[in-house]
């Protein structure tokens, strides 16, 4: 969309209509003490080549440069992005406003999101998926609120302590000003969620479990479904690594009612933590309680296939108090990217890539054990896992950093009882040579 500035005459006309003499008068309601007095201290403008040099200089100040290998996942994963993805997403047809309000003008965008929904529902084994939400953390918070809408009069929800700490923090922020109570479930010694105490928590509207969880551990979702449904609660499964479901049984086949999580792994670069998108799917019986937008397929008056906003229970479409959510806008271009990625790899490609990630992690685990390290949880994991070293790992991490390898996340900052236990992650972008180099440094 082109930027068309207003002329002085147009500005004067608009000011007369609203009854003020100048642009400054528009801010007369702001106290003088809160206004900036004088010009802003901004640097002089640069030419394009000067700006490029300036940005390169800023990039050089970073401790971790693009040529470093980061063996940390923790909710953000480095995967190879096929060249076809940026080639397609950079086309002007897809760089449109995020909301396709006029279907006759946005059939391409609507169809692209429809395909994304279809592929997401297939990946997660659910009946219906929406057009995405901001990110995985807000998707989980919205899922918990959706569980309360489904269960109606119940006021409590529970969330596993093995869910990503940032996701749990976002959920607490959502729930703090409400009348609802958010409880946390402990973690067993094997790294899985302890569900034995559900009976003592009273009536629960919903229970959320992440799989693979923050420790990379694969939860026993069928057993969780049985325990949660026996309490007549909604079973929510979340994830940070959707690639895992190219290899594992999908949550829908394990009894999940709502599935949500972060889709960044599918074609979106990490870019200092964003952007991403929240993938969100549920059983069809709950579709009218689902937040966000839903693109549907229909036919026009001449019988031709077309796409429309089928469901959009957001505040700008209906009365605010009736909206399922007021902040759940879809990540249009990110959803399009993820849809392109899933379509480009196909079911076979996603399965092969997931297997490669799993095999690399198992090879890495075996190497660390031979080097004297201990794997903290004996449950199966996907592409990340927690390690405890016989000796202080910090000197090893410093040596690896000199070799452009960023190794391990100390979990003590999130879980005090796991201090000096390190979370590692490997994906297809980590070569065997890098893994062997890290293992050799641990052996020294």
Cα 410 to Cα 282: distance, rounded to the nearest angstrom: 35
- Angle at 303 (CA atoms; ends 297, 307), nearest 5 degrees: 20
Give the percent of the chain with pLDDT over 70: 95
Q: Which two tokens stand for residue 183?
A: 């409880």
pTM: 0.87
Q: Choose among 406, 416, 394, 354: nearest CA to 165.
A: 416
pLDDT at residue 1 is higher than 70:
no
For the chain, domain boundaries: 69-81+347-443, 84-342
**Is the backbone peptide bond immediately before 244 cis, with ω within 30 degrees of 0?**
no
CA-to-CA separations, 422 to 346, 366, 410, in angstroms, rounded: 34, 16, 5
CA-to-CA separations, 41 to 32, 159, 222, 298, in angstroms, rounded: 19, 47, 60, 55
CATH code for the part of the protein at 69-81+347-443: 3.90.1150.10
Q: Choose among 337, 154, 135, 348: nearest CA to 238.
A: 135
pLDDT in tens, 374-416: 999 999 999 999 999 999 999 999 999 999 999 999 999 999 9
pLDDT in tens, 335-347: 999 999 999 999 9
pLDDT in tens, 206-254: 999 999 999 999 999 999 999 999 999 999 999 999 999 999 999 999 9
Cα 122 to Cα 250: distance, rounded to the nearest angstrom: 9
How confident is the model at residue 61, as a pLDDT?
A: 86
Give the percent of the chain with pLDDT over 90: 74
**84-342 belongs to CATH 1.20.1080.10:** no
**What is the per-residue burial (b if ≥16 Cβ within 10 Å, else e) of 330-364?**
bbbbbbbbbbbbbbbbeeeebeebbebbbebbeeb
Helix axes 394-402 and 432-443, enclosed angle (nearest 10): 140
Phi-psi category of residue 432: left, alpha or beta, with phi > 0 → left and psi -120 to 50 → alpha: alpha
pLDDT at residue 421 is higher than 90:
yes
pLDDT in tens, 79-108: 999 999 999 988 877 765 556 667 667 788
Do the domains at 69-81+347-443 and 84-342 have one common CATH topology?
Answer: no
């Amino acid at each position: 969309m082109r930027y068309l500035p207003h002329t002085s005459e147009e500005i004067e006309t608009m000011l007369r209509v609203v009854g003020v003499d100048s642009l400054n008068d528009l801010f007369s309601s702001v106290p003088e003490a809160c206004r900036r007095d004088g010009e802003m201290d901004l640097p002089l403008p640069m030419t394009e080549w000067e700006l490029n040099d300036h940005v390169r200089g800023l990039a050089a100040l970073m401790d971790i440069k693009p040529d470093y290998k980061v063996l940390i996942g923790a909710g953000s994963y480095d995967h190879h992005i096929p060249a076809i993805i940026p080639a397609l997403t950079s086309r002007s047809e897809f760089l449109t406003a995020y909301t396709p309000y006029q279907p006759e003008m946005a059939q391409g965008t609507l169809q692209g999101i429809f395909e994304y929904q279809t592929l997401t529902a297939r990946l997660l084994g659910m009946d219906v998926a929406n057009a995405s939400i901001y990110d995985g953390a807000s998707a989980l918070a919205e899922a918990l609120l959706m569980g309360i809408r489904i269960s109606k009069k119940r006021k409590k929800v529970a969330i596993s302590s093995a869910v990503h700490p940032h996701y749990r923090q976002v959920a607490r922020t959502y729930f703090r000003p409400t009348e609802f109570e958010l409880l946390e479930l402990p973690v067993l010694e094997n790294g899985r969620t302890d569900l034995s105490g559900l009976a003592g928590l009273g009536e629960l509207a919903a229970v959320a479990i992440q799989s693979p969880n923050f420790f990379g551990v694969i939860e026993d979702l069928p057993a969780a479904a049985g325990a949660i449904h026996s309490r007549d609660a909604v079973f929510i499964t979340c994830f940070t690594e959707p690639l895992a479901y190219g290899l594992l049984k999908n949550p829908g086949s394990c009894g999940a009612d709502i599935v949500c999580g972060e889709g960044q792994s599918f074609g979106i670069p990490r870019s200092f933590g964003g952007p991403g998108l929240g993938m969100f799917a549920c059983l069809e019986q709950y579709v009218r309680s689902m937040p966000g937008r839903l693109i549907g397929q229909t036919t026009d008056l001449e019988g031709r296939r077309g796409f429309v906003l089928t469901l959009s229970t957001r505040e700008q479409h209906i009365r605010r108090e009736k909206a399922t959510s007021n902040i759940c806008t879809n990540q249009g271009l990110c959803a399009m990217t993820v849809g392109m990625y899933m379509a480009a790899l196909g079911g076979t490609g996603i399965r092969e890539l997931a297997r490669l990630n799993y095999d690399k992690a198992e090879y890495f685990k075996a190497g660390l054990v031979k080097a004297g390290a201990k794997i903290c949880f004996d449950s199966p994991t996907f592409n990340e896992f927690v390690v405890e070293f016989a000796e202080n790992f910090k000197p090893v991490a410093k040596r690896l950093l000199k070799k452009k390898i960023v190794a391990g996340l100390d979990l003590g900052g999130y879980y005090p009882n796991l201090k000096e236990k390190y979370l590692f992650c490997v994906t297809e972008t980590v070569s065997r040579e890098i893994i062997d180099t890290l293992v050799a440094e641990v052996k020294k």
